[in-house]
């Protein structure tokens, strides 16, 4: 799981807000979908939420950050250099979303997928403050779901754990 902090927010010519994020830290965490009474109670208290994430305490986690959670994976089918621009080849993209924009994390590079074909992924490279890196055949690619933080519950340093309520952004 990757925690990202807001690095810039600008208002575009049409009045829309454009946000840019950079990676703050990578953490191990448990992700629990909220169901039934838990979901109703959390939504009454925190608004529109669909998951609870429990993670190790670190200084500075705030609701204006976001959390990227791995959802599916595949392997790179053909090596990619730092100057290659838009396509990644893979033998199996069946677990990836069939359409729409989503984040893909490979090595130390975050990319935004813009189209999926049977064995090709069209991407915008080096998003969210990362740099383009070379990828070898059989490197892992992970789809990362973007989760907006709604509430951060800090039970104090005694427990050394955050409880974070999030809403997955589609």
Q: Any idea what the CATH number is for the domain that residue 43 is in?
A: 2.40.10.270
CATH number assigned to the domain comprising residue 119: 2.40.30
**pLDDT at position 156, please?**
66
**Which residue, among 108, 126, 90, 129, has the nearest Cα to 6 in the 3D structure?**
129
Tokens of 163: 């409880």
- Residue 67 has a pLDDT of 93
Provide the domain count of the chain. 2
Q: Of the candidates 26, 166, 1, 139, which has an alpha carbon nearest to the alpha carbon of residue 73?
A: 139
- CB atoms under 10 Å from CB of 95, counted, come to 10
Q: What is the pTM of this model?
A: 0.78
Helix H or strand E segment including 38: helix 36-46
pLDDT of residue 11: 80
User: What domain range is 42 assigned to?
Assistant: 2-68+147-169
Residue 85: predicted pLDDT = 67
- The answer to whether residues 59 and 36 belong to one domain is yes
Helix (H, G, I), strand (E, B) or coil at 41: helix
Rounded to the nearest 5 degrees, what angle is found at the Cα of 136, between the Cα atoms of 133 and 142? 75
The pLDDT score that the predictor gives to residue 170 is 67
Per-residue pLDDT of the chain (170 residues; tens, 9 = 90+): 788 888 877 787 777 777 888 888 888 899 998 887 787 787 788 888 889 999 888 878 888 899 999 988 888 888 888 877 667 778 778 888 877 788 999 888 999 888 888 788 888 888 888 889 998 888 888 889 899 999 888 776 666 788 899 998 86
Neighbours of 110 (CB within 10 A): 25
């Amino acid at each position: 799981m990757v925690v990202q902090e807001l690095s810039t927010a600008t208002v575009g010519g049409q009045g829309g807000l454009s946000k840019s994020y950079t990676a703050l830290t990578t953490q191990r965490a448990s992700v629990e979908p909220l169901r039934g009474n838990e979901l109703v109670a959390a939504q009454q208290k925190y608004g529109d939420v669909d998951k609870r994430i429990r993670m190790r305490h670190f200084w500075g986690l705030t609701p204006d950050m976001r959390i990227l959670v791995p959802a599916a994976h595949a392997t790179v089918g053909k090596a990619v250099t730092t100057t290659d621009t838009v396509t990644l080849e893979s033998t199996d993209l069946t677990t990836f979303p069939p359409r729409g924009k989503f984040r893909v994390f490979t090595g130390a590079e975050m990319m935004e997928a813009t189209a999926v074909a049977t064995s090709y992924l069209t991407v915008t490279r080096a998003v969210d403050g990362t740099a383009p890196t070379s990828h070898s055949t059989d490197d892992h690619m992970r789809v990362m779901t973007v989760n907006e933080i709604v509430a951060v519950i800090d039970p104090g340093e005694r427990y050394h754990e955050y409880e974070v309520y999030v809403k997955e952004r589609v």
